[in-house]
Amino acid sequence: LRASLDDWLQRFRAGERRAAARLISIVEDGGDEARDVLDALHPAIGRANRVGITGPPGAGKSTLVDRVATVLATDTLVGVVAVDPTSPFTGGALLGDRIRMGDALQQGRIFFRSLASRGSLGGLSLHTSEVVDVLDAFGCGTVLIETVGVGQSELDIVEKAHTTVVVLVPESGDSIQTMKAGLMEIADVFVVNKADRDGAQRLADEIAAALDLRFGRRPDPASWRPPVLLARARDNDGTPELIAALQRHRDWCATSGERRRKDRRALESRLRDLVHDAVQREVWSDAAATRLFAQGLQAIERGETTPYRVADSIVREWTKQPAGRERRA
Amino acid sequence: LRASLDDWLQRFRAGERRAAARLISIVEDGGDEARDVLDALHPAIGRANRVGITGPPGAGKSTLVDRVATVLATDTLVGVVAVDPTSPFTGGALLGDRIRMGDALQQGRIFFRSLASRGSLGGLSLHTSEVVDVLDAFGCGTVLIETVGVGQSELDIVEKAHTTVVVLVPESGDSIQTMKAGLMEIADVFVVNKADRDGAQRLADEIAAALDLRFGRRPDPASWRPPVLLARARDNDGTPELIAALQRHRDWCATSGERRRKDRRALESRLRDLVHDAVQREVWSDAAATRLFAQGLQAIERGETTPYRVADSIVREWTKQPAGRERRA
Strands (DSSP E) contained in chain A are 49-55, 77-83, 110-115, 140-148, 163-168, 189-192, 228-230
The DSSP code sequence of B103-149 is HHHHTTSEEEEEE--SS-TT-HHHHHHHHHHHHHHHTEEEEEEEEET
Q: What residues of B are in contact with residue A274 (Cβ under 8 Å)?
A: 307-308, 310-311
Distance of CA A66 to the CA centre of its chain: 17
- Nearest-Cα distance to chain A for B37, in Å, is 11
The DSSP code sequence of B202-254 is HHHHHHHHHHHHHH-SS--TTSPPPPEEE-BGGGTBSHHHHHHHHHHHHHHHH
- Judge whether residue A247 has pLDDT over 50: yes
| Average pLDDT over chain B, rounded to an integer | 82
Q: What residues of A are in contact with residue B134 (Cβ under 8 Å)?
A: none
**Touching check for B172 and chain A: CB below 8 Å?**
yes
Predicted local distance difference test score (pLDDT) of residue B165: 93
Q: What is the mean predicted confidence (pLDDT) over A20-24?
A: 92
Q: Which residue of A has its CA nearest to B93?
A: A177
Predicted local distance difference test score (pLDDT) of residue A171: 73
Q: Shortest CB distance from A303 goes to which of B43, B267, B303? A: B43
Confidence of residue B213 (pLDDT cuts 50, 70, 90): confident
Say which amino acid occupies B149.
G
Predicted local distance difference test score (pLDDT) of residue B210: 83
Predicted local distance difference test score (pLDDT) of residue B38: 94
Tell if the CB–CB gap between B153 and A151 is shorter than 8 Å: yes
Q: What residues of B are in contact with residue A322 (Cβ under 8 Å)?
A: 320, 322
Predicted local distance difference test score (pLDDT) of residue B120: 40
Listed by number, the residues of chain A in 218-247 with a beta carbon closer than 8 Å to a beta carbon of chain B are none
> What are the C-alpha distances in Å from A24 to residues A87, A133, B9?
21, 9, 53
- Nearest-Cα distance to chain B for A74, in Å, is 31
Tell if the CB–CB gap between A312 and B173 is shorter than 8 Å: no
- Nearest-Cα distance to chain B for A242, in Å, is 21
Tell if the CB–CB gap between A306 and B38 is shorter than 8 Å: yes
Q: Shortest CB distance from A86 goes to which of B57, B181, B271? A: B181
d(CA A276, CA B200): 46
ipTM of the prediction:
0.82
Task: Tell me the pLDDT tens digit for each residue of B98-138.
Answer: 545 555 565 678 998 877 655 443 466 778 899 999 999 99
Confidence of residue A78 (pLDDT cuts 50, 70, 90): very high
**Touching check for B312 and chain A: CB below 8 Å?**
yes
**Touching check for B132 and chain A: CB below 8 Å?**
no
- Nearest-Cα distance to chain B for A220, in Å, is 27
Tell if the CB–CB gap between A267 and B174 is shorter than 8 Å: no
Q: What residues of B are in contact with residue A297 (Cβ under 8 Å)?
A: 264, 267-268, 271
Tell if the CB–CB gap between B91 and A282 is shorter than 8 Å: no
- Judge whether residue A69 has pLDDT over 90: yes
Q: Is the dihedral of CA B293, B299, B300, B305 positive or negative?
A: negative
Task: Tell me the pLDDT tens digit for each residue of A276-322.
Answer: 888 888 888 888 899 999 999 999 999 899 999 999 999 888 776 55
Q: Which residue of A has its CA nearest to B279?
A: A315
Task: Tell me the pLDDT tens digit for each residue of B51-79.
Answer: 999 887 678 888 899 899 999 999 999 99
| Average pLDDT over chain A, rounded to an integer | 82
Tell if the CB–CB gap between B315 and A283 is shorter than 8 Å: no
Predicted local distance difference test score (pLDDT) of residue B321: 55
**Touching check for B32 and chain A: CB below 8 Å?**
no
Q: Shortest CB distance from B315 goes to which of A275, A308, A312? A: A275
**Touching check for B177 and chain A: CB below 8 Å?**
yes
d(CA B109, CA A106): 61
Predicted local distance difference test score (pLDDT) of residue A104: 59
Tell if the CB–CB gap between A297 and B267 is shorter than 8 Å: yes
Task: Tell me the pLDDT tens digit for each residue of B162-178.
Answer: 999 988 888 765 544 55
Listed by number, the residues of chain A in 183-222 with a beta carbon closer than 8 Å to a beta carbon of chain B are 183, 186
Tell if the CB–CB gap between B274 and A90 is shorter than 8 Å: no
Phi, psi for A94 (deg, rounded to 5): -90, 170
- Nearest-Cα distance to chain A for B91, in Å, is 7
Predicted local distance difference test score (pLDDT) of residue B3: 67
Which residue did the predictor score with more confidence, A240 or A221? Answer: A240
Q: What residues of B are in contact with residue A309 (Cβ under 8 Å)?
A: 39
Q: Shortest CB distance from B174 goes to which of A91, A178, A274? A: A91
Q: What residues of B are in contact with residue A153 (Cβ under 8 Å)?
A: 151-153
- Nearest-Cα distance to chain A for B119, in Å, is 8
What is the percentage of chain A residues whose pLDDT exceeds 70? 79
CB-based contacts of B102: which residues, under 8 Å, 6+ apart?
none
Which of A164, A279, A283, A313 has the highest number of chain B CBs within 10 A, making it the mutation to test binding with B? A279
Tell if the CB–CB gap between B181 and A57 is shorter than 8 Å: no
Predicted local distance difference test score (pLDDT) of residue B324: 43
Which of A176, A203, A275, A326 has the highest number of chain B CBs within 10 A, making it the mutation to test binding with B? A275
Q: What is the mean predicted confidence (pLDDT) over B273-302?
A: 91
The DSSP secondary-structure symbol of B44 reads G
Which of B275, B280, B292, B326 has the highest number of chain A CBs within 10 A, making it the mutation to test binding with A? B275
Contact, B83 vs A117, CB < 8 A? no
CB-based contacts of B208: which residues, under 8 Å, 6+ apart?
B228
Q: Shortest CB distance from A278 goes to which of B151, B311, B322? A: B311
Distance of CA A127 to the CA centre of its chain: 8
Using CB atoms within 10 A of its CB, is residue A197 exposed (0-12), middle (13-18) or buried (19+)? middle
Tell if the CB–CB gap between A117 and B152 is shorter than 8 Å: yes
Task: Tell me the pLDDT tens digit for each residue of B172-209.
Answer: 655 445 554 566 778 899 999 999 998 899 989 988 88
Longest dimension (CA), chain A: 68
Tell if the CB–CB gap between A275 and B311 is shorter than 8 Å: yes
Tell if the CB–CB gap between A309 and B148 is shorter than 8 Å: no
- Judge whether residue B230 has pLDDT over 90: yes
- Nearest-Cα distance to chain B for A63, in Å, is 17
**Touching check for B322 and chain A: CB below 8 Å?**
yes
